[in-house]
Amino acid sequence: MPSSLSFRWIILVVLTVCGLASGIVGLSIWRNRADDIDRALRHAADTMSFMADQIDRIVQDIDEILIQYRKQAEVLDIATDDEFRQYFTAPRRYDLRGAMVASLGRVPDARHLVISDSRGDVVMSTNFGHDTPSIGDRPFFHILAGAKDDQLVVSGPFLGPLSGVPVLVFARRINGTEGAFRGTIHLSVTMEHFERAFRATGQSHGETMTLMHRTSREIVRIPDGPTPGAMPFDWHRAVAAGGGSFRMALKAGREPQWATVQPLARVPLVITLTVPEAHILANWRSQSIGTALGAAGFLGCLLALLGVIGRQIRRLSESRSELAGANRALAAALDNMSHGLCLFDADGVLRVCNERFRRIYGIADPIPLGTHRHAIEAMCRARLRHQPDSSEGGRPDDIDTDTADDPTDRIYELADGRVVAVNCHRLAQGEWLEMHEDVTEQRRYQSRIEFLARRDPLTGTANRAEFLDRLQNVQRLARRRSGTVTVLMIDLDRFKDVNDTLGHPAGDALLRETTARITACISPHDTLARLGGDEFAVLCGAAPQAGDRPGDALRRAEEHAAKLATAIVAALREPYDIDGNAASISASIGIAIAAAPAETPTDLMKNADIALYEAKARGRDNFCMFVPDMKDAVEERLRLESDLHLAVQQSQFMLYYQPIIDVVTGQVSGVEALVRWSHPERGEMSPSEFIPIAEQTGLIVPLGDWILRQACLDAMRWPSDVSLSVNISAVQLRGANLLDTIMATLEETGLPPTRLEIEITENVLLEQSAGNISVLRQLKELGIAVVLDDFGTGYASLGYLTVFPFDKLKIDRTFIQELATRSDCMAVVGSAARLGRSLGMSVVAEGVEAIEHVEWLRSAGVVQVQGFCFSPPVPAAELRFGDMFETFESHAEPERTPKGGSEGGSKVASAA
């Protein structure tokens, strides 16, 4: 604070000195300016006085000539104007003209001396041999004619009538008797005479000298230049005062000037000398700039010195403030840091100790600086849960502070259960730094992270990484002991339905309950893991028993795995109560066993996955053990899937059609479209071989679009009363644009909607999807018939009839083919026909292979039949329309297994 105050006084004194110096310099510069202007004006006044004398002498010479000859004209005793004119025209007066010419020599550059009468006509002139025109129109003539007093009139300048050069006219009045106006006498002088007089003064650069009338009309300007216009009021005032000087502020864009005015005594003429202010002040400006620069330099140096001093003082002040702030920040940081800190000097004396250190160890009173390190370490040891003995390394007082160079870390557990980590460092100057950190939460988080890295957070079971590690360890142990390793891959069936219906919290609760049920089935030595989603795995290891023959260990492992899988399937099949909501799921289990295993953990997991896939393919809710042939089947399926992708891109498919016959007329009333795959290596393939794969991979959507379009194009070539039946997969129905696709196809091909029939299976309705029902209703509104295919093979066929009003029911071929051998099949078909009639639905029987079945089906109420009895599926070019009963003889013994299989296995998409 004192240095800041003294610096303020220094600034005040320096600024005062600078202000005074600036004022003195400015005043001196301003006085010099005034002196230069005064000198210039005095010089101008002297010049004007000299010029006035020169011009007055010239005018005096001219006036003497005028007065001389005016007297001669006035002494004549002439009473009238005519006598006046006659007198000057008499020959005896030629000697007067000679005298006048001789008088002109007294005035250099004098042009003419002329006497005129009262009318302005020239009666005497020095112009020999020239007629002098009348001067009655000249201004000076009119002035003199009306003058009441005797005066010398100056007029001009104007061009002489004979010489054509600018002249200035000096004239006087000639009076007759009793003062009557008799005429004028005037002398013309060229302007060059006055210009030479002006130049003789030796004008300085920039000076302008002007001879003017008192009316401010310009006569002569040296040097020649633009006329400044009307003279200001100051000019007229100076003329009236008999002379003087003033400053003229000219128009914008022109610099100001100083003017000196000197009126002439004999004539109404004024001499004006103007000098630009810039010329007057040229020397002053250069001197002032030098003076100002010198003063500015001095003041600048003074201010720079002041700035340097101020900057140093400010830096010193800032450094002190920063140091104080840094000390405060350091103290705050030390007191609020998460670590306890103690700094000892080379002698072990405490120099720094923060608040956190005391809080960690529960020391209430501040620790005085200067306390020895051993005393502080004793305080810390008193608060430990277990006192370290001499055999334990890392006691604080066991460290040799004179020789310890490397960091020493210790972990202590305090009496209250907290854990403290201590890190000690020897510094460069021998100081000793200890950092104490409460790592209780860190240890807890570390344990939690380790748990999450190896365990599933939802179920508490092992996760995939932990399961693979344990599998690797069990396999390593099994190799050494010739034991077995068993992996059970468990996948929950219909878990997604529960999760989507009841919500994710219910799904999580179901997974936890599932974990509990599986845990109850396995032994404590087995490992249960949740691999993700609704997929679990169980790991079992078994050591060989004494006296085992080859294969005994594997057989026991298979029996144990089958028993365990059966128990798990049964346990998971039991209903669940999830927050008051009943839920049911099942499980599919794939089992892979390795005896004295050579497979890697990845191979064993892959084998279990293959077995799980096979279990799902067999209908779910069961288990399957891996056999090597399964791997070949999976690889074959993958190859077929790849070929199917290429087939869709290259359009390797063709359509076959099977007629649908009216049982009354025998006419073809409809045709069902059936797809075949022309595989480049395997030949023609039935839909049952590739449609399931197409549905699982989603390729059924582009394939179905192609089938629909091609079938509609073919149907446009058939009779207009023949309908077209196309099978639609559940995957297609779940798509977002099936309705748009059908409408666009009908519009493109021109097929009327009333000729199109869409066949779906009962599996489509298993989902009970409101979206599926909505799409079917929109199709019916367009006039498209909806047919329930494979009726009687589902779980609740009768219930589906209440969900949606179908147009037709297709009785499954399995009931039709055994009509002749099984009475229950006849009862089912008859009931289905009666049910269809009562609901207003047409009934179609597919798979008819005997003509005797047709009569019975007709009597039972079936209206349409379809089967090899009339025609196998054929290409569009081989279709025949007409009375199919007449052609029956040609098909009396149909080929039971035609190419591509029967129509029952040739649907575009049996329901997924």
pLDDT over threshold 70, residue 140: yes
| Domain 339-388+402-442, classified CATH 3.30.450.20, yes or no | yes
Among 59-63, 224-228, 366-370, 891-895, which range has the highest average pLDDT?
Answer: 366-370
pLDDT over threshold 50, residue 648: yes
Among 52-66, 475-489, 813-827, which range has the highest average pLDDT?
Answer: 475-489
Question: What's the pLDDT score for residue 203?
Answer: 64
Q: What 3-state class would DSSP assign to 880?
A: coil
More confident call, 618 vs 871: 871
CA dist., res. 344 & res. 342, Å (int): 7
Instruction: Give kind and range of the element (H or E) at residue 261.
Output: strand 257-263
Candidates 55, 152, 64; CA nearest to 103 is: 64
pLDDT over threshold 60, residue 364: yes
Identify the weakest region by mean pLDDT among 181-190, 204-213, 508-517, 870-879. 204-213
What strands, in cross-sheet order, belong to the sheet with 110-117? Answer: 122-125, 110-117, 181-190, 166-175, 153-159
CB atoms within 10 A of CB 371: 16
pLDDT over threshold 90, residue 598: no
Average pLDDT of the segment spanning 265-288: 80
Architecture of domain 638-905: Alpha-Beta Barrel (3.20)
Q: Against a cut of 0.75, is the pTM above it?
A: no
Identify the sign of the CA torsion 314, 316, 318, 324: negative
Q: For 780-815, what is each residue's pLDDT tens digit? A: 999 999 998 877 665 445 666 777 788 998 888 877
Whether 644 and 685 have beta carbons less than 8 Å apart is answered as: no
CATH 3.30.450.20 residue ranges for the chain: 2-191, 196-279, 339-388+402-442
**Residue whose pair of structure tokens reads 């799409």 in the numeric block:** 775
pLDDT over threshold 80, residue 896: no
User: How remote is the C-alpha of 233 from its chain's centroid?
Assistant: 71
Quick one: pLDDT band at residue 408, thresholds 50, 70, 90? low
pLDDT over threshold 50, residue 905: no
CATH 3.30.70.270 residue ranges for the chain: 455-626
Architecture of domain 455-626: 2-Layer Sandwich (3.30)
pLDDT over threshold 90, residue 563: yes
**Residue whose pair of structure tokens reads 């050579």 in the numeric block:** 598
> Which residues face 810 on adjacent strands?
844
Whether 910 and 674 have beta carbons less than 8 Å apart is answered as: no
Question: What's the pLDDT score for residue 101?
Answer: 81
Average pLDDT of the segment spanning 136-142: 84
> Which residues face 413 on adjacent strands?
419
Quick one: pLDDT band at residue 397, thresholds 50, 70, 90? very low
**Residue burial 718-736, b: 16+ Cβ < 10 Å; e: rest:** beeebbbbbbbbbbbbbbe
pLDDT over threshold 80, residue 892: no
Question: What's the pLDDT score for residue 903?
Answer: 43
Q: How is residue 333 written in tokens? A: 């940081």
Among 265-269, 691-695, 871-875, which range has the highest average pLDDT?
Answer: 871-875
Whether 185 and 174 have beta carbons less than 8 Å apart is answered as: yes
pLDDT over threshold 90, residue 569: yes
CATH number of 2-191: 3.30.450.20
Quick one: pLDDT band at residue 824, thresholds 50, 70, 90? low
Question: What's the pLDDT score for residue 226?
Answer: 64
pLDDT over threshold 60, residue 738: yes
Question: What's the pLDDT score for residue 889?
Answer: 52
CB atoms within 10 A of CB 198: 22
Q: For 854-877, what is each residue's pLDDT tens digit? A: 888 888 888 999 988 888 999 999
Q: How is residue 729 written in tokens? A: 């997969």
The β-bridge relationship of strands 166-175 and 153-159 is antiparallel
pLDDT over threshold 70, residue 388: no
CB atoms within 10 A of CB 786: 19
Q: Calculate the average pLDDT of the chain.
A: 81
Q: How is residue 13 written in tokens? A: 């004194």
Question: What's the pLDDT score for residue 766?
Answer: 61
Question: What's the pLDDT score for residue 753?
Answer: 96
Question: What's the pLDDT score for residue 509?
Answer: 94
Candidates 113, 118, 101, 137; CA nearest to 186 is: 113
Phi and psi at 255, nearest 5°, equal: -70, 150
pLDDT over threshold 80, residue 68: yes
pLDDT over threshold 80, residue 354: yes
Identify the weakest region by mean pLDDT among 467-481, 657-671, 808-822, 894-908. 894-908
Whether 631 and 637 have beta carbons less than 8 Å apart is answered as: no
Within 8 A by CB and 6+ apart from 814, the residues are 792, 793, 847, 904
Candidates 833, 889, 897; CA nearest to 865 is: 833
Phi and psi at 660, nearest 5°, equal: -115, 125
pLDDT over threshold 70, residue 891: no
CATH 3.20.20.450 residue ranges for the chain: 638-905
Q: For 201-215, what is each residue's pLDDT tens digit? A: 666 666 788 888 877
542-546 contact pairs (CB < 8 A, 24+): 542/483, 542/484, 542/486, 543/478, 543/481, 543/483, 544/481, 544/482, 544/483
More confident call, 390 vs 79: 79
Superfamily covering domain 196-279:
PAS domain (3.30.450.20)
pLDDT over threshold 70, residue 229: no
Question: What's the pLDDT score for residue 310?
Answer: 77
pLDDT over threshold 60, residue 597: no
Quick one: pLDDT band at residue 250, thresholds 50, 70, 90? low
HEC per residue, 348-378:
CEEEEECHHHHHHHCCCCCCCCCCEHHHHHH
CA dist., res. 868 & res. 874, Å (int): 11
Average pLDDT of the segment spanning 157-161: 72
Q: How is residue 801 written in tokens? A: 């009839």
User: How remote is the C-alpha of 485 from its chain's centroid?
Assistant: 58
Q: How is residue 568 written in tokens? A: 């798990």
**Residue burial 573-602, b: 16+ Cβ < 10 Å; e: rest:** eeebebeeeebebbbbbbbbbbbebeeebe
DSSP state letter for 337: S
Percent of residues, the chain, with pLDDT higher than 70: 86
DSSP state letter for 142: H
Question: What's the pLDDT score for residue 128?
Answer: 64
Among 116-120, 282-286, 489-493, which range has the highest average pLDDT?
Answer: 489-493
Percent of residues, the chain, with pLDDT higher than 90: 22
